[in-house]
Amino acid sequence: MESPEPCQAKGADQESDMSLPAIDAKSNGESAVSAQGADTLIACNIEELHYGQFKAVRDVDIKIKKGTITAFMGPSGCGKSTVLRCINRMNDIVRGFRLKGSVHFLGQDIYQPQVDPVTIRRRIGMVFQQPNPFAMSIYRNVAYGLRLNGVRGNLNEKVEKALRGAALWEEVKDKLSTSGLALSGGQQQRLCIARAVVTEPSVLLMDEPCSALDPIATRRIEELMQELKKRYTIAIVTHNLQQAKRVSDMTAFLYVDTTRGSRTGYLVEYGPTGDIFDDPKEQHTKEYISGQFS
């Protein structure tokens, strides 16, 4: 395996904390989650979300339980990805973003002023729509997050564990010094998943992770999600109704309000995936599930 380069970053014991409940890293916050009730790991309540004067999302209230896969679906422009990005404060980097509401992770509102968003993103990882490996070796792609977070010493074991966890190890173990850009699209996405999980987050957010992949690669990612669910809580945005039905435990359906001349996304219905697909309660959900619009 490629030898790790010396790391000059500060040690993990020196990094800033965000004053989340004191928990054992390997427990994924079980005691804090229990205190919050019903194994709720994340409670996302968005009254209003704006980008400048534009109201992008309103009236979203979703609780995500530990060890589940939650799918966000709905027509284009309904705010699925915007809601997902609220969960690890990725919207903070968008000019004009402001939130009226809260997102509780392990019982604490991550939008409180004392909370460090960088630390949040270490605890709540993200995989994007387009595979985005760095222009560096497969090994260094995975090790990047460890070095950035000040992890020192021999990183080989952690890199191998992450690649195995992303079901990629057997395919790349003999070419770790090869550029990550040389992999196929599906392999690149699994490499990005390995990079996201190497720091051992509690939650993995996936924003349309299969939209750029062929059916075979898509199936591999979906199978991988079921394996990852054993170790992480997952939230996924998808335009693929059948994918939501196949992989998720809970489904949130969002729609678009155009009554005031703009497009504002809002939550229509949220519940167990079987109920949403087999017995939806709201008319918009029924029409979407039946393919009357997309």
Pair type for strands 97-105 and 108-109? antiparallel
Q: Is the pLDDT of residue 251 over 90?
A: yes
Provide the 10 A C-beta neighbour count for residue 136.
14
- Chain center to CA of 195: 13
User: Coil, helix or strand for 106?
Assistant: coil
Report how far residue 62's alpha carbon sits from residue 17's, in angstroms, rounded to the nearest whole number.
26
Q: Is the pLDDT of residue 128 over 50?
A: yes
- Of the ranges 9-23, 65-79, 236-250, which one carries the lowest mean pLDDT score? 9-23
157-195 CB burial, b ≥16 within 10 A, e <16: ebbbbbbebbbbbeebeeebeeebeebeebbbbbbbbbb
Write out 195-247 in H/E/C secondary structure.
HHHCCCCCEEEEECCCCCCCHHHHHHHHHHHHHHCCCCEEEEECCCHHHHHHH
Q: How confident is the model at residue 148 (pLDDT cuts 50, 70, 90)?
A: confident
Looking at the chain, the whole-number percentage of residues with pLDDT higher than 90 is 80
Among residues 215, 162, 221, which one has the least CA distance to residue 189? 221
Q: Is the pLDDT of residue 26 over 50?
A: no
Q: How confident is the model at residue 153 (pLDDT cuts 50, 70, 90)?
A: confident
Q: What is the pLDDT of residue 262?
A: 87
Report how far residue 82's alpha carbon sits from residue 70's, in angstroms, rounded to the nearest whole number.
15
Question: In this structure, which amino acid lies at residue 38?
Answer: A
Q: How confident is the model at residue 1 (pLDDT cuts 50, 70, 90)?
A: low
What's the mean pLDDT in 168-175?
Answer: 96
Q: Is the pLDDT of residue 90 over 80?
A: yes
What's the mean pLDDT in 281-285?
Answer: 96
What's the mean pLDDT in 209-228?
Answer: 93
